[in-house]
């Protein structure tokens, strides 16, 4: 089956620093990738939709200048959390779509970000 990886799997950073998270589709090309955020015991909240070669589409309430998304190739999208604060601590999950159907969306293992 389709595999999506994320790196790093967990990261701890200090307030004010920036952190980059990578999402890769390992055995398929993904024209669309999605970034989600998941707080403890809560569901996945879509942050943005990332299309290869174009600007990401952010959901309402998500600061695009704080959460920079770059989808430079058909297998890689990156999310950079700029000037991180403790409230940005969360579980970030990406997914990549391999085809036209919404069910053809495969999730990465997630990245646990802790901002101290």
Determine the interface stretch with another protein among 19-27, 39-47, 69-77, 79-87 (rule: CB under 8 A): 39-47
Determine the interface stretch with another protein among 18-26, 64-72, 80-88, 96-104 (rule: CB under 8 A): 96-104
Q: Out of 20, 28, 49, 52, which residue is the one contacting another protein (CB under 8 A)?
A: 49
Determine the interface stretch with another protein among 13-21, 66-74, 79-87, 106-114 (rule: CB under 8 A): 106-114
Asked if 21 touches another protein (CB under 8 A), the answer is no
Distance, CA of 101 to CA of 57 (rounded, Å): 19
Task: For residue 38, give both structure tokens.
Answer: 């998941």
Comparing CA positions, the residue from 16, 10, 9, 23 lying closest to residue 78 is 23
Contact 36, 92 (CB under 8 A): yes
Q: Is the peptide bond before 8 cis (omega within 30 degrees of 0)?
A: yes
Residues found near another protein in the complex (CB under 8 A): 4, 32, 34, 41-46, 49, 93, 97, 101-103, 105-110
């Amino acid at each position: 089956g389709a595999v999506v990886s994320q790196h790093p799997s967990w990261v701890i950073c200090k307030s004010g620093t920036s952190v980059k998270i990578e999402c890769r589709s390992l055995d398929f090309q993904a024209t669309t990738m999605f970034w989600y955020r998941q707080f403890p015991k809560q569901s996945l909240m879509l942050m943005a939709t990332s299309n290869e070669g174009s600007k990401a589409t952010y959901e309402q309430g998500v600061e695009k200048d704080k959460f920079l998304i770059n989808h430079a190739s058909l297998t890689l999208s990156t999310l950079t959390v700029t000037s991180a604060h403790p409230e940005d601590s969360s579980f970030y999950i990406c997914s990549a779509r391999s085809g036209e159907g919404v069910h053809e969306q495969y999730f990465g293992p997630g990245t646990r970000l802790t901002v101290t």
